[in-house]
């Protein structure tokens, strides 16, 4: 199914264009439909889920008819649709809700992982360890049990027959530096190895910490690239910052991050060598734990 978040962004663009084509300001349209200027602005910036009755009122006020009306109303209907993640509310965390929404309609996902293993492929023990690290930095904006359950739901979709293709570049320094118990890290690595070995749609590449990455600056944060089957749905880059996720859809911005991903991918180990690397690290962690060193 299509991502409701992606359709909200398309709807926002259509509504803004319709208003501007008719030379209405945001304030003027708000007065016509008996809504606040803030409400109209939030609709045009995809910040809220649309109410279908309000969309009909806006389209009538803008004298939108025929095929154009049908097109915008269909977008609004899809943008208003709720997914399984909406039943969690904020308990799963607002950032994870965005990723679950995007994954639901994505055809392909590519990610560079600088600070943790891909959330969509984490095992419960690793999630618990990550929650402990998160708690060291302050109060949580999610319920750990609901967040963990939601990640399991995301993994089920990724591994389902209609899930997207997924390719990830893992920064080697993250694999070594992430402060989770060795047994947990080893179990997480073995889970990745098993998934990669059995799922043709999923690929992992390890980016060695000692390789040069020519052609431009190094990435300053983890990021993901999403592509969707409908040509009308814009591709997106999601940048993972400390406090929020930045969504980019402009062609120039996407080209920059796509080029950066391609450079990272080119510098990384091959899929086969990456699997062998992950297996060596898992074995070393297990051996050290058993020997008590």
**Residue-by-residue DSSP string for 200-265:** TTEEEEEE-TT----SSPPPSSEEEEEE-SSTTSPPEEEEE-SS-EEEE--HHHHHHHHHHHHHHH
- The pairing of beta strand 222-227 with beta strand 202-207: unpaired
Verify that 152 and 276 share a domain, yes or no: yes
Q: How far apart are CA 223 and CA 234, in angstroms?
A: 17
pLDDT given at position 13: 96
Q: Give the CA distances from residue 79 to residues 43, 74, 144, 154, 200, in Å, rounded to whole numbers and listed in that order.
A: 11, 9, 28, 20, 31
Verify that 283 and 172 share a domain, yes or no: yes
Going through 124-181 in order, the beta strands assigned E by DSSP cover 165-171
pLDDT digits (tens, 9 = 90+) for 44-84: 999 999 999 999 999 999 999 999 999 999 999 999 999 99
Verify that 52 and 142 share a domain, yes or no: no
pLDDT given at position 287: 86
Verify that 35 and 134 share a domain, yes or no: no
Verify that 227 and 127 share a domain, yes or no: yes
Mean pLDDT, residues 238-262 taken together: 95
- Domain stops at, among 21, 54, 80: 80
**Residue-by-residue DSSP string for 64-131:** --HHHHHHHHHHHHHHH---GGGGGGGGG-HHHHHHHHHHHH-SEEEEEESSSS-GGG--HHHHHHHH
Q: What is the residue range of 41's domain?
A: 4-80
CA 268-99-45 angle, 5° bins: 120
pLDDT given at position 1: 80
Verify that 55 and 182 share a domain, yes or no: no
Going by C-alpha positions, the residue among 37, 53, 49, 118 that lies closest to residue 81 is: 49
Verify that 238 and 179 share a domain, yes or no: yes
Provide the 8-state DSSP code for 170: E
Report the number of distinct structural domains present in the chain. Answer: 2
Burial category of 167 from C-beta neighbours within 10 Å (exposed 0-12, middle 13-18, buried 19 and up): middle
Straight-line distance from the first to the last Cα atom of the chain, in angstroms, rounded to the nearest whole number: 50
Sign of the CA dihedral running 29, 33, 37, 38: negative
CATH number of the domain within which 185 lies: 3.30.870
- Domain stops at, among 31, 49, 80: 80
pLDDT digits (tens, 9 = 90+) for 3-17: 999 999 999 999 999
Verify that 45 and 190 share a domain, yes or no: no
pLDDT given at position 133: 96
pTM of the full structure: 0.94
Verify that 186 and 72 share a domain, yes or no: no
Verify that 146 and 227 share a domain, yes or no: yes
pLDDT digits (tens, 9 = 90+) for 141-195: 999 999 999 999 999 999 999 999 999 999 999 999 999 999 999 999 999 999 9
CATH number of the domain within which 37 lies: 1.10.260.40
Verify that 36 and 172 share a domain, yes or no: no
Q: How many CA atoms lie within 13 A of 237 on its CB side?
A: 20
Verify that 67 and 107 share a domain, yes or no: no
Mean pLDDT, residues 221-226 taken together: 98
- Domain stops at, among 47, 64, 80: 80
């Amino acid at each position: 199914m299509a991502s409701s978040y992606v359709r909200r962004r398309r709807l926002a663009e259509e509504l803004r264009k319709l208003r501007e084509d008719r030379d209405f300001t945001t304030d003027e349209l708000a007065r016509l439909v008996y809504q606040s200027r803030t409400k109209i602005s939030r609709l045009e910036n995809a910040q809220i889920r649309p109410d279908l009755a309000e969309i009909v009122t806006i389209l009538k006020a803008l004298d939108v008819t025929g095929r154009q009306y049908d097109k915008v109303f269909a977008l609004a209907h899809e943008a208003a649709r709720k997914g399984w993640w909406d039943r969690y509310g904020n308990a799963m965390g607002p950032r994870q809700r965005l990723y679950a929404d995007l994954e639901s309609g994505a055809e392909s996902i590519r990610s560079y992982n600088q600070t943790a293993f891909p959330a969509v492929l984490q095992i419960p023990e690793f999630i618990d360890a990550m929650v402990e690290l998160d708690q060291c930095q302050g109060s949580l904006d999610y319920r750990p049990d609901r967040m963990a359950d939601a990640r399991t739901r995301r993994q089920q979709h990724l591994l389902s027959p209609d899930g997207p293709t997924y390719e990830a570049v893992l920064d080697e320094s993250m694999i070594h530096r992430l402060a989770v118990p060795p047994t947990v890290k080893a179990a997480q690595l073995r889970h990745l190895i098993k998934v990669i070995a059995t799922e043709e749609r999923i690929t992992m590449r390890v980016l060695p910490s000692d390789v040069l990455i020519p052609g431009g600056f190094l990435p300053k944060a983890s990021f993901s690239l999403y592509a969707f089957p409908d040509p009308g749905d814009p591709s997106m880059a999601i940048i993972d910052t400390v406090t929020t996720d930045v969504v980019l859809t402009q062609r120039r911005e996407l080209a920059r991050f796509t080029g950066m991903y391609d450079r990272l991918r080119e510098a990384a180990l091959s899929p086969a060598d990456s699997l062998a690397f992950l297996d060596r690290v898992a074995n070393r962690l297990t051996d050290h734990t058993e020997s008590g060193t």
